[in-house]
Amino acid sequence: MGNLLAIPAVILGYIKRLGWVSSIAMLVGLGFVGVLTISLLVNLVGYFQAPPEATAEHEFHRHPKELALKTDGPFGKFDRQQLQRGFQVYKEVCAGCHSLNLVSFRDLHQLGYNEAEVKAIANQWAIEVPSVNPDTGEAATRKAIPSDKFPSPYANETAARAANNNALPPDLSLMAKARHDGPAYIYSLLTGYQAQPAKLLAEFPAAKTPASLHYNPYFANLNIAMPPPITADGQVTYADQTPATVDQMAKDVSAFLLWTAEPNLQSRHKSGLAVLAFLIIATILGYLSYRNIWAEAKRKVAPVGALDPENKAKRTRASKKAGIAG
Amino acid sequence: MSFAWAKPYEPKTELGRWIDDRLPLPRMVFNAVGGGYPVPRNLNYGWNFGVLSGIFLTIQIVTGIVLAMWYFASADGAFNSIEHIMRDVNAGWMMRYAHANGASFFFIVVYIHIFRGLFYGSYKAPREMVWMLGLVIYLLMMATAFMGYVLPWGQMSYWGAQVITGFFSAFPVVGEPIRVWLLGGYAPDQAALTRFFSLHYLLPFVIAGVVILHIWSLHIPGSSNPTGVEVKNEKDTLPFHPFYTAKDGWFAGAFLTLYAALVFFAPNALGHPDNYIPANPLATPAHIVPEWYFWPFYAILRAFTVDFILPAKLWGVLAMFASILLLFFLPWLDKSPVRSGSYRPMFRIFFWILVADVLLLGLCGMKPAEQPWVAISQLAAAYYFAHFLIILPLVSRYEKTLPLPNSISESVLHGEQKEAAPIGQTAPAN
C-alpha cells in the first residue's frame, strides 16, 4: 500500500525533472503513438484474417505502350505532316462522337493549312454548329466558320448519353494532358482492343465484360463503352499517301491530340532553350564574381605581429611621443 | 540593433543625404541587406534558402497578379478561362506554368530552409520568434497553395476542396456548421470559388508582411551559423553586401535554372492529370491526392484508421494539425544548450531518421490507401510524433555533445594564422 502511494510522488518527480512542457509533450506523443499502434495492430489482424481479394483490374490492367513522337525531348517539334494526318483521322473517325470545344477551325493554320483551306474545312464540316434562326428566333444550326470550335454532334449531354448506351463521349481537347502518359495512353487504348483473356475469365468469372462494353486492358476498369474506333487498315485514305495502317492512324491521332492539348509546345521548347541559355550564362558569371569577391575573405587571416592593429596603434603612439612624423 | 562594428550608412551624394534626412529608407535597406548587416562568415549553402524563398514569393506574386487579369472566378467559366490563358493570351502559358511550378519550388526551398533550421538548432534562444514567425508563414503558404489549387476548377481542385473542408466536419457538433460556413454552401460551388480567389489574392501579401517581421526578428540577434557559436567579434563576420549578395546571387541563378527546366520542359510533371478534367460534382476521381507538398500530412491524416474513444477521422485531423503545431513548441522541447547538429552525435542520427521518415510519409501520402502503405504510414507517423515529443526532450537531456570551437573565426581559419605569419616570426600562442 505504501508503495502504491509513492507512485504519484515518483511521477511528479519525473515531471519536475523533465519540465512541464516536455512532460505534456510526452503524454501527447504517447497518445498519438498509442492510437497509431492500435490502428496498425487492428489493420494487420484484419489483413491476415481476411486478406483483400485480388481484382481483375489489379491483375490485368496494363501500362501504356511506348510511343515516340517528334515532340519528345527539349528540342522536340511538331511534325506538321503527322498532325495533318491525325487531323484527318479525327475528322473522319473521332468527330462523329467527340467535340474539341477548346480548339477553333482557325487554329488549323498551325498545322500548315492556308486561309482558304481552313475556310473550306469549316464550311464542309459534317456537323453544323448551334445557331438561332434570324427570322423566327428558334434554335437552328448553321455551317461552321473558322472562328467556331470543333462542335459536338449532340445537342446536349442527355442526347449524347441517349445515343451512346448512357455513356458520354468526352471532349478530346485536353485528353493528352488529362490522362497519365497522355499520347501514349491514347495510342495504347486505340490499339488495345482485344478479346477478354481466358485466364481472366477463369480467375474472375464475375469480371466478364458486359455486352454493351468492350474489353481493353489499357482502360482503368478494363471495360470501355467506346466501340473500337479504328478497326481496319485503310480506314482513312491519307492525302500524303502514307499507308494508313491501324498502328499509323492511332499514332497520328495521338500526336494530333497532343497538339490540341498543348498547342504552344513548340514555342515553349524554343523559349525554354533561350531562357536556359541565359540563366546558365548568368549563373556562370555570377559564380565567377562570387569567387572573385570571396577570394580575399576566404584567405583573410587574423593580422599578427607587426600587422596586428593593436601593435600598429602602439607604434603610432610611440612615434608620436618621440615626435616622429608619419 | 546590430553589432558595434557594423558599417554605418553614409549617403554619398547630396540627394542621398536629402532623402536620408526625410525618409531613411535607403538606410534601412543598407542596414538590413546591405553593407551594414554583419553576417557570420562561415555560412554554408543551407543558408541560401531564405533568400530563395523570398525570390519565389516574388515570382508567385508577380505571375499571380498577371494571371488574375485574365482569370475568371466562376464555376462555369474558371476552367475555360485558364484554357484561354494557356492558348490565346500572349505568353499566358508561360505565366501559368511559371505560377503552378513556382508554388512547388516555393515549397521545395521552404522545406530545405525548415530542415536546415531543424539541423542547426536555428529555433533556439534567442531566435524562437524567428522560428515561430517562419511557421506562421508556412501555415499561410499552405492555406494559399490549397486555395490556389482550387481555382482552375478541375476535378482535383473540386474534390480536394471537398476533402480538405471536410476536415472540419470531423469535429463534433460545431464541425459541420463550420464547414458549411467556410464553403458558403453544402458543397464547393460558386460561393466557395469566389471566396477562395479573394483569399488567394490576399494571403500572399499577408505572407509578405510576416516575412518582414521574420527578417526583423532575425536581425535582432543576427543570423545563426553552422557552428551554432555566437558571433564574438568583427573577425567572425562579413558584411552581407557584397559577400552574401554575391553568394545568394549565383546560387539563385543555379536554382532558377532548375526551375526554368521544369517550367519549359516538364511543366505538368508535378501536377495531376485529373485537373485537366473540368470539375464534376457527380464523378469522384478514383484516387483523390493533394499536391506533393501536402503528401506527408495527408499520410498522417489517413494513418488513423480505428475509432478509439474518438472517431478515426477526428484522430487523423487532430494529428495532422498537431504535426505542424508541435513545431511551435520545439524551442522548449529541445533544451540542449548546443545548437548545431554537427556537435550533437545522437541528435544528428535522429535528425536523419526524421528526414527519411518525412520522405516515407510523403510516399505513403501519394499512394492509394491500401496495404502495405497504410501500415508503413502508421509506423512513419508514429515515429514523427515520437521524434518531436519523446525522443528530442530525452536526447537533449542525456546526450553528450562534442566540444564547440572557441569562435567562428577559429573554426574557419584553422591553422592559417600560423602559416600567414611573416617570415622569421611565429604567431603568438593563444
Domains in chain B: ranges and CATH: 32-284 (1.20.810.10), 289-399 (1.10.287)
pLDDT band, very low/low/confident/very high, at B341 (cuts 50, 70, 90) = very high
Instruction: Give yes or no: B334 in active site.
Output: no
> Which has the minimum average pLDDT: A122-136, A195-209, B268-282, B369-383?
A195-209
Instruction: Give yes or no: B247 in active site.
Output: yes
Select from B157, B244, B276 the residue whose CB has the most chain A CBs within 10 Å, as the one to mutate to test that interface: B276
Determine contact: A276 vs chain B, CB below 8 A: yes
Count of all residues that appear for chain A in the document: 326
Q: pLDDT digits over A234-272, tens only?
A: 899 998 889 989 999 999 999 999 999 999 999 999 999
Cβ atoms of residues B5 and B38 within 8 Å: yes
> Which has the minimum average pLDDT: A58-67, A105-114, B268-277, B416-425?
B416-425
pLDDT at site B220: 92
pLDDT at site A295: 84
pLDDT at site A14: 77
Q: pLDDT digits over B49-105, tens only?
A: 999 999 999 999 999 999 999 999 999 999 999 999 999 999 999 999 999 999 999
Does residue A95 have a pLDDT over 50? Answer: yes
> Which position among B99, B124, B200, B247 bears the catalytic label?
B247
Per the listing, cell 466536419 goes with B169
pLDDT band, very low/low/confident/very high, at B417 (cuts 50, 70, 90) = very low
Contact residues for A236 (Cβ-Cβ < 8 A; gap 6+): A88, A89, A92, A93, A244, A249
Nearest-CA residue of chain B relative to A101?
B80
Instruction: Give yes or no: B335 in active site.
Output: no
DSSP conformational letter for A241: -
pLDDT band, very low/low/confident/very high, at A20 (cuts 50, 70, 90) = confident
In angstroms, the CA A90 to CA A84 distance is 10
Question: Taking a contact as any Cβ pair under 8 Å apart, which residues of chain A between 178 and 217 contact chain B?
Answer: 178-180, 182
Q: Where are the beta strands (DSSP E) in A251-301?
A: none
> Which position among B236, B248, B274, B357 bears the catalytic label?
B248
Does residue A326 have a pLDDT over 80? Answer: no
0.80 exceeded by pTM: yes
Determine contact: B306 vs chain A, CB below 8 A: yes
Instruction: Tell me how many degrees the CA angle B77-B101-B94 measures, rounded to the nearest 5.
Output: 65
pLDDT at site A325: 60
pLDDT band, very low/low/confident/very high, at A319 (cuts 50, 70, 90) = confident
Does residue B1 have a pLDDT over 80? Answer: no
Does residue B418 have a pLDDT over 60? Answer: no
* Mean per-residue pLDDT of chain B: 91
pLDDT at site B423: 38
Q: Exposed, middle or buried by CB within 10 Å (0-12, 13-18, 19+), for B100?
A: buried
Mean per-residue pLDDT, B359-378: 91
In angstroms, the CA B405 to CA B168 distance is 50
DSSP conformational letter for B46: G
B124 φ/ψ sector (left φ>0, alpha ψ -120 to 50, else beta): beta
Determine contact: A269 vs chain B, CB below 8 A: yes
Residue B51 parent element (H or E) = helix B49-68
Contacts 24+ apart (CB under 8 A), A159-162: A160/A97
pLDDT at site B422: 38
pLDDT at site B413: 59
Amino acid (one-letter) located at A243: P
> Which position among B7, B20, B84, B219 bears the catalytic label?
B219
Q: pLDDT digits over A118-129, tens only?
A: 999 999 999 999
pLDDT band, very low/low/confident/very high, at B426 (cuts 50, 70, 90) = very low
pLDDT at site A303: 60
Residue A100 parent element (H or E) = strand A100-104
Q: How far is A48 from chain B (nearest CA, A)?
A: 11
pLDDT at site A276: 97
pLDDT band, very low/low/confident/very high, at A199 (cuts 50, 70, 90) = confident
Residue B385 with chain A: CB contacts under 8 Å: 28-29, 32-33, 36
Mean per-residue pLDDT, A79-90: 94
Determine contact: B315 vs chain A, CB below 8 A: yes
pLDDT band, very low/low/confident/very high, at B428 (cuts 50, 70, 90) = very low
Cβ–Cβ gap B371/A47 under 8 Å: yes
Q: Which of A179, A272, A293 sits opposite B260 (nearest CB)?
A: A272
Cis peptide before B372 (omega within 30 of 0): yes
pLDDT at site A305: 66
Higher pLDDT, B416 or B402: B402
In angstroms, the CA B3 to CA B232 distance is 9
